[in-house]
Amino acid sequence: MKKLTKAELLSLEAYAEQRNAYRAEVMAHKKNRRVALGPNATLYFEDRITMQYQVQEILRIEKIFTADEIAEELAAYNPLIPDGGNWKATFMLEFGDEAERRTALAQLIGVERRIWVQVGAHDKVTPIANEDLVRETADKTSAVHFLRFELDAAMIASAKGGAEIQMGVQHPQYTHATGALPARLAQSLVSDLDTVH
């Protein structure tokens, strides 16, 4: 999946005119890229569409329009676009109550490394987490992590051939599994994969 370039981004003016319709399209797309892992954890799988939306929103909010500043945003977000041999996701721990959230984040240190994806009967794949910066301390983990799941050629071929895709998390304080993903979700994720990768 190729990276975003400045030429593909809308100007601030053009984006303002198209934002409502564009946002509705992206939100519909994102519905097929969200995987709940139990009641308090969610994987949001990223791709060119989700990242272009993210960049456009940042440019709009920060009123960024110079080439250098746009290049900085692209450098920050392009690494979250899958490259054909992996899935990339934002992992979020979500708790409505602040006190519950603080307690949970203290108990869930290392949870981002205990997430797994599985294609058919292949081995489970755990992610490479937070390549940009460390998101945990000795006392707590972060509510947001960035994950990369590397798949081998056999896994990619199986996924493209319609094998079930399952996901889960196995942490002493939080264990959940999805079972087979619904077809619409699986198809969206399979579209990230390239058999000639």
Same domain for 39 and 110, yes or no, is: yes
pLDDT band at 131 (very low <50, low <70, confident <90, very high): confident
Total of domains in the chain: 2
Q: Residue 119's pLDDT is what?
A: 98
pLDDT tens digits, 154-182: 999 999 999 999 999 999 999 999 999 99
pLDDT reading at 197 higher than 60:
no
Same domain for 109 and 64, yes or no, is: no
Q: Residue 81's pLDDT is what?
A: 95
Same domain for 104 and 184, yes or no, is: yes
Where in the sequence is the domain holding 98, given as residue range(s)?
35-47+84-197
The pLDDT mean for the chain works out to: 94
For residues 146 and 92, is the Cβ–Cβ distance under 8 A? Answer: no
CA-CA distances (angstroms) from residue 16 to 77, 85, 96?
A: 21, 34, 32
Q: What value does the mean pLDDT take over residues 3-21? A: 93
pLDDT band at 196 (very low <50, low <70, confident <90, very high): low
Q: Please give the model's pTM, rounded to 2 decimal places.
A: 0.91
pLDDT tens digits, 14-56: 999 999 999 999 999 999 999 999 999 999 999 999 999 999 9
- Going by the DSSP 8-state scheme, the letter that residue 162 receives in this structure is T
CATH number at residue 158: 2.60.40
Q: What value does the mean pLDDT take over residues 57-64? A: 94
For residues 186 and 42, is the Cβ–Cβ distance under 8 A? Answer: no
Same domain for 58 and 151, yes or no, is: no
pLDDT band at 123 (very low <50, low <70, confident <90, very high): very high
Same domain for 60 and 154, yes or no, is: no
Give the CA-trace dihedral at 12, 62, 89, 14, to 10 degrees. -10
Q: What is the spatial distance between Cα 37 and Cα 94, in angstroms, rounded to a whole number? A: 11
Same domain for 95 and 186, yes or no, is: yes
* Cβ neighbours for 128, distance < 8 A, ≥ 6 positions apart: 147, 148, 149, 150
